Amino acid sequence: MLSSIPMAEEADTVSSLLNEGKEGKPLVVILVGAPGSGKTTFCNDVIRVARRTWTRICQDTIANGKAGTKAQCLQSAANALQEGKNVLIDRCNLELEQRSEFVKLGGARADVHAVVLDLPARVCISRSVQRTGHEGNLQGGKAAAVVNRMLQKKALPNLNEGFSRITFCHNDDDVKTAVNTYSLLGLFDSLPPGIIGQKSGDAKVQQGIMKFFKKVDTDGNCSQNSAPKHENNENNPRPMGIEKGNEVGKDEQKNDMLLNPSVSDFQWNDAPTLAFPSISTSDFQFNMDKASDVIVEAVADFFSKVDKVKLILVDLSSKSKMLSLVKVKASKKNVDTTRFSTYAGDITRLYTGGGLHCNVIANASNWRLKPGGGGVNAAIFSAGGEALEIATKEQADTICPGSSIIVPVPRTSPLSQREGVTYVIHVLGPNMNPQRPNCLKDDYVKGCKVLYEAYSSLFNNFASIARSQNYQKEYSGDSKSEPTKSVCKSFEAVVECQRSSSEQKSKREVSYGSDCNKKSKSNGDSGGLPGMLEKEEQKSERSDHSAKSSWGSWAHALHQIAMHPEKHNRDVIEISDDFVVLNDLYPKAKKHILVTSRLPGLDCLAEIRREHLPMLQKMHAAGLKWAEQFSRHDPSLVFRLGYHSVPSMRQLHLHVISQDFDSTHLRKKKHWNSFNTPFFRDSIDVQEEIKMNGLATIKDEKLLSSELRCHHCKSAHPNLPRLKSHIATCKAPFPSHLQNGQLVFALSGSSDAVSAI
C-alpha cells in the first residue's frame, strides 16, 4: 500500500512536482463530505483561479438549475471528459456505492482523485443550519438531522476503489492547501499517486471497510460460496474485530464460522443496526449455556416480527465462550446471518476500530445506571464522557432487572462525534451473584424469564428508534423516490413489535443523536407514511406486557414531574419522598387527580412486585385522603382509586376519579372504557394480588374497544352522548363487585363523615 504524505509536506513539494514536461490526463475529482463541509466552495475556489478548464457537476442544479438524478450527473461528467475538460463531482459521496460509478469514469481517459472534506461534525452542522439560499435547500433546523444521519453512514474512500490519489482535509488550512494544489495544475501537469493528509484513525477506518471473514463449516472446510481467503498483510488486512497480536488460531478458525460474513455481505449501511453485549455478565454469575440459549431465542423471535434491522453481538475477545456458543446455536436455529452477526472487539470503537456503522449500542448496565465497576458498563460511560452520564441521569436514576431505557447520545459526547452513535440503550439483566442486588439464588426458571424480558425490552426499544429514523428518512443522491412497498412493510413490522400505549398522540418529536435529551421518537404529518403508521398503531391490539413500552416524548411528562416536582409547582398539589399528587391535565370527571410514584425505573403496573407493596399502600392512603377531602366539599361525589392496565404515560400513577364522568375531555370510547371495564384495576385488588402472587394481573387492551355500558345499570349505548345523557338520569346503584371498599363517598347527612364501601 502506498504510504501517506502529510499535508504540510505536500504543500511544500507540490510546485516542484508540476511542470515536469509530461502530458497530464484529464482529472475526475470526486468530492467526499457531508453537507456543510465546503464542497461547493472548494469547487468554486478551484475554478475561479484554475489554469485548466474545469466543469462542476452538482446534482442539486443538474436539471437546468434544478435538482436532478445521479444518471444525469454521470452523463454530464462523461460529456465533459469527451470534450477534454476536467470534472469536479460536487456530491456528498459518503458511501462506496454512491461514488463507485463516478470512479468508473476514469481508466485510460482520465485519472480519478478523491478530496475528502472530513471536517468535524459540529462544523458541518453549524454551517448547514446557518446558511441561506442553498442550491438544494438544505438549511435551517432540518439540516442538523440530515447531516447527522449522513455522517453515520460515512465510509471513507480507499485506493482499492479505483482512486489514484486521495487527499484528506481535516480543517480549513488543509482545504486551502488542496485548493491550491488543483488550481495550480497546468495543461501538462500531473500529480503523484498516493494518500495525502491521512490520519491514523482514517487508516483504521479504511482497513475496517476492507476486512473479511472466511466462512467455514464445522469441519473447517470452505463453503463454496464463501469469500476468498485474505492473508494478514498490508494489502489484505486481518479479519474484522481481531486486533494485531490477537489473531484467531487455526483451531479457532474452524469454529469461527457462519455468523461473520464479510462487511459487504452484511450490508451495514442499508439498515439500522444495534450492537449489544451479553447482558448476563460475569459479574452477575449467570450460566453461559443458558444465557446463550436465551440470546438466540430472543433474536429469532425479534426477527420473526421485525424486518429491515440488524443485530451484532459484541464481546471484547475473539476467544469469547459466549460468542462461540451463540454462533453454534444460532446456526442450528437457522438465524438469518445477513441480519445477525458476532464481532470480537471494543463496543465503544466499532466505527474507528472496524468500520461498522452501528447507530445504536446497548450497555449491560448496573441498577444504579452509573459509571464504574468494570466491563461494558465502565467502557461505555468512559467513552461517552460526562455528556452521556448527564443524559442518562435525565432519563432515570435506577433500572429494574428485565427492563431497559433509551438515552439519546448528546452531540458533545465522543461516542457521537467519533463513532456516530445516536442512542445508548441501558439494559439490566438478572443477577445470580449474592454480592449484588436482587439475587435470584440460582432460580434459573425466573432468571431465564427475566433475561428474555431484558433482551425483548432492548430489541423493542431499538425497533422504536429504527421506526422513528426510517419514516423520517430523507432520500439523497439519486434516490428521490418515495419509500417502496417493501420498506413500508418493514415499518409496519416495527410498529407491530411494539406495545401501543392506550392513548397515542398523532405527532412526536425526533432526535438524531443531538443533545436534545428530552426529545425522542417521531415528528410527522398526519398524512403520508407517518399518518399510515399512526393508523397502524391505533389498529394494533397488543397483549405482550413482559417488555417495557417505548414511550413517546409526550409520555415522559409524569416522569419529569415526579423526579423534579420543585420545577412544577403549578401542577403539583402535594409532594412527599415517595409520591407526588397532581391534577390530571385532561380530567375525565369533575375531580380527577393522579398520585404518582417517585421511584425511578417503575413505569407501569406490569413492573410492580412485592417489594413495591409499601409504596402502593402509601399511594393508596394519599388517594383516599384526597377523595375524602373532595367528598367533604361536595357530598355528591363518589370516587374510585385504581390503575390502568397499560398506561399511556410513563411513571406508575394511581387514578383518583369521581364517578360522575362529567367532563368535556371524555370524548372517546376508549376514554370511557379505560375507567369502566376490567382494564381499570382497583387499587385494593392490585394490593391483594401483589400480596398473594407477587405481581398484578394485566388486562387486555381489547377491552378499550368494548361496547359502551352504563357503570351503574350496565345498559348498552351506541355512543358517548347517549351514554352521558343516560347517566344523568340513571338511579341504579353501583354494581355489587364494587361493594368491597372500591368506592369512596360522603355519608348521607354529614359532610364530615366519609366511607369506603
Euclidean distance between CA atoms 251 and 26, whole angstroms: 51
Euclidean distance between CA atoms 620 and 623, whole angstroms: 5
Of 471, 464, 655, which is closest to residue 547 (Cα–Cα)?
A: 464
Question: Are 426 and 410 within 8 A, CB to CB?
Answer: no
- The DSSP call for residue 248 is P
3-state secondary structure of 485: helix
Question: Are 263 and 358 within 8 A, CB to CB?
Answer: no
Query: What per-residue string of b and e applies to 341-364 under the rule 16 or more CB within 10 Å gives b?
Result: bbbbbbbbbbbbbbbbbbbbbbbb
3-state secondary structure of 682: strand
Exposed/middle/buried for 301, CB within 10 Å: 0-12, 13-18, 19+?
A: middle
As a three-state string, the secondary structure of 32-65 is ECCCCCCHHHHHHHHHHHCCCCEEEEECCCCECC
Q: Which grid cell is 683? A: 387499587
Per-residue CA distances from 90 to 35, 87, 102 (Å): 11, 9, 11
517: β partners: none
Euclidean distance between CA atoms 583 and 116, whole angstroms: 57
Of 13, 90, 107, 98, which is closest to residue 46 (Cα–Cα)?
A: 90
Of 338, 307, 359, 336, which is closest to residue 491 (Cα–Cα)?
A: 307
Question: Are 631 and 583 within 8 A, CB to CB?
Answer: no
Question: Are 285 and 331 within 8 A, CB to CB?
Answer: no
3-state secondary structure of 602: coil
Residue with cell 406495545: 499
CA 253, distance to chain mean position in Å, is 33
Residue with cell 465503544: 348
Q: Which grid cell is 666? A: 371524555
Residue type, 752: D
Sign of the alpha-carbon torsion through 344, 348, 354, 359: positive
Euclidean distance between CA atoms 527 and 62, whole angstroms: 31
Backbone φ and ψ of 221, nearest 5°: -90, 140
Q: Which grid cell is 276? A: 449489544
Q: How many CB atoms lie within 10 A of CB 716?
A: 12
Q: Which grid cell is 120? A: 468535524
Q: Which of 559, 620, 653, 655 is catalytic?
A: 653
Q: How many CB atoms lie within 10 A of CB 306?
A: 23
CA 23, distance to chain mean position in Å, is 53
Catalytic residue at 653? yes
Euclidean distance between CA atoms 145 and 124, whole angstroms: 11
121-130 helix and 141-152 helix, angle to the nearest 10 degrees: 150
Q: Which grid cell is 81? A: 471528459
Euclidean distance between CA atoms 576 and 596, whole angstroms: 10
Q: Which DSSP string do the residues of 112-166 spell out, in sequence order?
A: EEEEEE---HHHHHHHHHH--S-TT---THHHHHHHHHHHHT-----GGGT-SEE
Euclidean distance between CA atoms 22 and 527, whole angstroms: 61
- Active-site positions read 653
